[in-house]
Amino acid sequence: MKPQIYALFTAMAWGIGGFLEKKGLHLGNLSPQMGITIRTGIAFIILALVSHPYLKQLKNAGPKSLTYMIIGGGVIAGSVGMLCFYYAIKGAPLSKVLPIAFTSPLFGAFMGIIFAGEQITLKNIIGIMMTVGGIIILTI
């Protein structure tokens, strides 16, 4: 399957999931911390099952790779980002939260340009400006 199809499925899963998570937080009067704990627990079980055949890869990954995964995925995106996301969806309409929350590609693009030496093109600049413009229109 093409990567773009996976990206589309990602967007669908995160959009639909965000809607259901918001409903669950409000229906159960759950704190954002409890919501993210439930989400992470269920995700852990599912991911443990699908990752099991690949556990041997950990031996060859090396400490630097694992440190990036732990800090980037576990601490920054998985904990700080998700807690902030849950506070946002608990306190505001999805139509205001999701456009802002899903500007993550902008930050990823800037990180790639600044720290990984990726080239910035006119196409990148136009895309970034259109994204920011769309977010402003959707959230004002």
Question: Left, alpha or beta for 9 (phi > 0: left; psi -120 to 50: alpha)?
Answer: alpha
Rg (CA), the chain: 17
- The residues spanned by each domain of the chain are 3-92, 103-140
Q: Where are the strands (E) in the chain, listed by range? A: none
User: Hey, is 56 helix, strand or coil?
Assistant: coil
Q: Return the pLDDT at 44.
A: 96
Give the global pTM: 0.82
Confidence class for position 135, pLDDT limits 50, 70, 90: confident
Confidence class for position 63, pLDDT limits 50, 70, 90: very high
At residue 128, does pLDDT exceed 90?
A: no
**Residue range 69-97, pLDDT digits in tens:** 999 999 999 999 999 999 999 999 998 89
CA distance 70 to 68: 6
